[in-house]
Each structure stands twice: as C-alpha cells, then as structure tokens.
Amino acid sequence: MISRRQALIAGGAGVAVVGGSAVAVGVFKGDKPEPLAPPSTDGKGHTVWRNWSGIQHSYPVQRAAPKDEGELAALLKAGPAPIRVTGAGHSFTGLCATDGTLVSLDAMNGIESWDGDQATVWAGTRLGALGPALAEKGRAMANLPDINKQSLGGALGTATHGTGRTLKAIHGDVQALTLVTAGGAVLDCDAKTRPELFSAARVSLGALGIISKARLTTTANRRLRRKVWLEPFEEALAKAEERWATHRNFEFYAVPFTGLAANISHDETDDPALDRGPDSDSVFLDALKGLRNLLGFSTGLRKAAAKALLGGTPAETAVDEGWKLLSTERPVRFNEMEFHLPHETQLAALKEVVETIEKHRPDVFFPIEVRRIAPDDAWLSPFQGEPRGSVAVHAYYRDDYKFFFELIQPIFVKHGGRPHWGKLHDLKGPQLAALYPRWNDFLEIRRELDPEGRLLNPYLKTLFGVD
C-alpha cells in the first residue's frame, strides 16, 4: 500500500515519536507468542490438515486426488464420510475439516475446452494459474479477489469476489457446471438444463457434491492502471460512492487508529506497462503493528503519530494486464470476518465498526477492507437479488479474534449483512433462512442429492440445522 522505504521510516519513526523515553511501557510489549500447532498426526498415523490461518484442523482417515470424473464419482460413492473437498484451504470457517475423506482436485486442473470466448475450466485450477492460461488466448477473468491462490472450485464454493460496482463475484460468470454427487452421478447443469440445480450449485459450500468443472465467461485481457493512495478517512468516506461509480475497480481500507484510509483503483488503459514493484503489504502492516506496540496505550498519540508518519505518503501507480495486478500477496497471516451489506447501510456499518474497534480493541492494527460487488441470482450468493457492499475485519493470526463475534457481527447483522461463507461468522439455519429467500429450496436439493448426509461435517450440520 505504501512503499517499503516509507513504511520502514514509519516503523522507525514510531520509536522517535515516543522519544526513546520510558513511554514505551504501554499495554503492548511486543507480539503474542506463536499459537500452539496441533500434533502433526493423531496417534493413528493420520496426518493433520490445517487451513491457511491455522485455526481449523482435522485428521482425515483418507486423502485422495482423483484424476478424472470417473475416479471422483467412485470416491464419492465409497469413501469414508464425511467427504469434504478442499482447494487451497484458504477459508477461515470449518467447511473443509473432516475425519473421513478429504478430496483435492489438484490433479484436475487447466482449461478443458473453449466455446467461443467461454472457457471450461477444471475446478482444481488455481486462479493464479488460470490468469496466464487465459492470457495465452488474449482473454481474462473479469475480476479477481485479493489473492489468487484459491482453486476455482473453492472460490465458487464460498462466493469469492473482488470489487467493482459492475463486476460480479466469480460464480456470477459461470455459464454451466458439472457436479459429481455423493451417489456418484455426474450432472451437467446450466440455465436451461436442470436450472434449479444450476442456481443451487454455483455457490454450494461443497454440500451438494463436488464441482468437477465450470464454463466461464471471459473478457478481453486488458491492461489496467492501478493507483494506491492514502487520505483522511473522512474524505475517503465522503468520496467512496463517486469512486465506485467511476472506477472499473475501486476499494478502500479504513486504517483504524490512524484517521487514514488507503484507496485502490484500477482502470483500463493502453499505456505501456509500468512496474508495480515488490509487494509492500507486509511492510505497511509491520509499521502499523509497530505503532500499536509502542503507542497502543493512547489512541490520541497513536493517531497523531500515524498521521504525521504516513499522512504525506505519495500515491503509487502501476500498469499491467489485469490478472497480474488485481490480486496481491498476503504474506502476513490473519483471521477475518466479512459481511456483505446493502449499499444503503454499508458505510454506516463501517463507521460503527471503526468506532467500536477504536473504543474497545486497541490491539487491532489490520486495515478494514471495503468493497462493492454486482448482483447475481445464485441461491446462496450473498449478492443474490441486489448489489452489495462488503466490509471485512481482520485480526493478526497471533491475536484474539473472538471479538469478531461479540462486537462486530452484531453491527453487521443489525445493518442487514449476509456473511461471507468462507470467513468467520456464527449465523445458523433460521438466521440464514431470513437472509436468503431460497434457503429452504437449497436444503431440499441437498437432501435429495445426499440423503445420508455423507458430505456433511459437524460445521455444515450446525450451519444447516441438520442432525
């Protein structure tokens, strides 16, 4: 977000602000210790599986990476339950944990075929590998999330999205898909063939079956101009609507305890490529953590120091093909809660979240991400029926994240938010039924396709309200 040199100056200058005096005896004397890792095996020889952030783990008795739909179907019929499929394990919730069968589609990857500008892509394909494969044909995905480590199947599974007023989440560009069910059936569906299944399966948390491949709309592989700039938070709030209306992609990060926001826009251009330079995300986060550790005892001092140190940071610009620019690296691990809100309440909810964190949680230093997503009609899509604006709160992986549930989720719920399926929340059946008009239809299709609940782990049973 800011350059390495600037952030290093900021981190160092934090020390200068307290003048090297005894002021550094604040609440925060340094990082919390590394969280305890679970044992690498369960004592019966089963190796541990963990998610990216490290808060979910399990010991599957069987792991499998089928090479084709035939092998996948046989596995689904015979593998020990619960049968869960995982892509990159980047979800924060307990969606993939299983002590039964853990399936990876890593061996089913790449572009299977082209139909005009639509590409049929194996669901095990990582988004980061899909970019260059599409670019070979001059094509691209319309949008990308913050990172590109996810598998296509995993991204569809939780309604993964980027930002842009007119741009849909990834599943919004799916024109057809193939689902392999718990009974071993291989079902093709699209808007005409099995339309109800198509509506249910596009976002289905691996609960209806395993998607083996999907046909995606692609766009021309255009160059984008990326601009990143800091400004006062109040100014970012005041200008956000206008920026969403004018930029192809626009998002901003509210940076708590700084009074600042970081804006990021992307717009199409024919200008020559301009190097983006190394990712400075972790350096910026280190600077914010340094400010917390030194000045976390005083919000006023922390804000003054942050404004003095970061406020004048010049904008950064880069130009390149979209698939190279829209996603970044996220080397610093965190846990996250993200809700998708109606446009009318998004910024009010954001303000309340920032105020709440600044009042109650001086340990938080991660920026809060604010995005816009176009609507679609998948039944469990958080963007079903209307466009939504997302607000995402992060906690450093060593820090407490329970406050998400106690302090932040109530704000999102009050403002009509729908949770990101892959990110932390504890909403369940009845609350979700009130948010999703086709919730019960989805559950009905789930029962029909998997009457024995072979795909349900304890997390999904609680989510769906199934015994």
Ligand X SMILES: Cc1cc2nc3c(=O)[nH]c(=O)nc-3n(C[C@H](O)[C@H](O)[C@H](O)COP(=O)(O)OP(=O)(O)OC[C@H]3O[C@@H](n4cnc5c(N)ncnc54)[C@H](O)[C@@H]3O)c2cc1C
Site residues for ligand X per CB under 6 A: 52, 84-91, 95-96, 105, 123, 145-147, 150-151, 153-155, 157-158, 160-161, 205-206, 210-211, 330, 420, 422
Indicate the residue among 95 and 364 with the shorter CB distance to ligand X. Answer: 95
Taken as a whole, the chain contains a residue count of 467
Q: In whole angstroms, how close is the CB of 383 to ligand X at the nearest point?
A: 11
- Contact between residue 328 and residue 279 where contact means Cβ atoms under 8 Å apart: yes
Q: In whole angstroms, how close is the CB of 204 to ligand X at the nearest point?
A: 6
Q: In whole angstroms, how close is the CB of 174 to ligand X at the nearest point?
A: 12
Indicate the residue among 294 and 325 with the shorter CB distance to ligand X. Answer: 325
- Contact between residue 365 and residue 253 where contact means Cβ atoms under 8 Å apart: no
Instruction: Sort residue 277 into left (φ over 0), alpha (ψ -120 to 50) or beta.
Output: left
End-to-end CA distance of the chain: 46
Report in angstroms the alpha-carbon separations of 66 from 40, 109, 126, 232.
24, 11, 16, 51
Report in angstroms the alpha-carbon separations of 360 from 31, 256, 295, 420, 435.
19, 12, 15, 24, 29
Tell me which H or E stretch contains 190.
strand 186-190
Q: In whole angstroms, how close is the CB of 268 to ligand X at the nearest point?
A: 20
Indicate the residue among 90 and 303 with the shorter CB distance to ligand X. Answer: 90
Provide the angle, in degrees to the nearest 10, between the axes of the packed helices 299-310 and 281-295.
150
Q: In whole angstroms, how close is the CB of 24 to ligand X at the nearest point?
A: 31
How deeply is 413 buried, as exposed, middle or buried, from its count of CB atoms within 10 A (0-12, 13-18, 19+)? middle
Indicate the residue among 307 and 330 with the shorter CB distance to ligand X. Answer: 330
Q: In whole angstroms, how close is the CB of 112 to ligand X at the nearest point?
A: 14
Indicate the residue among 99 and 146 with the shorter CB distance to ligand X. Answer: 146
Indicate the residue among 155 and 216 with the shorter CB distance to ligand X. Answer: 155
Q: In whole angstroms, how close is the CB of 103 to ligand X at the nearest point?
A: 8
Indicate the residue among 14 and 145 with the shorter CB distance to ligand X. Answer: 145
- Alpha-carbon span 289 to 202, nearest angstrom: 39
Other CB atoms within 10 Å distance of the CB of residue 278: 11
Indicate the residue among 112 and 358 with the shorter CB distance to ligand X. Answer: 112
> What ranges in 90-170 are assigned the alpha helix state H?
127-135, 152-157
The residue to which tokens 């450093």 are assigned? 396
Q: In whole angstroms, how close is the CB of 321 to ligand X at the nearest point?
A: 19
What values do phi and psi take at 154, rounded to 5? -65, -40
